[in-house]
Structure 1
């Protein structure tokens, strides 16, 4: 088994909870929310406004973002 001292890929390591590079999306276990957001963005499932409200609501739990989320979904469905 290779020790951490001899690991050759450390120059490629990015210290972030989630990253996206074209169609490659990956995350640590702590980055699942951002990972899901990147996937939805990449698939173009929702508008940027809806995704922003979705991400802020689920990362903060603040009701104002839930209201923005519902309003943006209603706008998309009209």
Structure 2
């Protein structure tokens, strides 16, 4: 039986493989605070949280645009 102190810690992956195209953006103070709150709730880094929200936003944008084009 292995004890927790004998298990080697795995290094945290910062982003999925192939994520090598950084994007810089500026946030207002209240936007940054909201991002920090979400990151804490999700137990993610700020970068990981921003990436998650960006991907969700892109998906929502595509869905809305596709819906509008069918109307």
**TM-score, length-scaled by structure 1:** 0.26
Point out the structure with max Rg over C-alpha: 2
Which fold has the larger relative contact order, with Cα–Cα distance below 8 Å and residues 6 or more apart in sequence? 2
More strand by share: 1
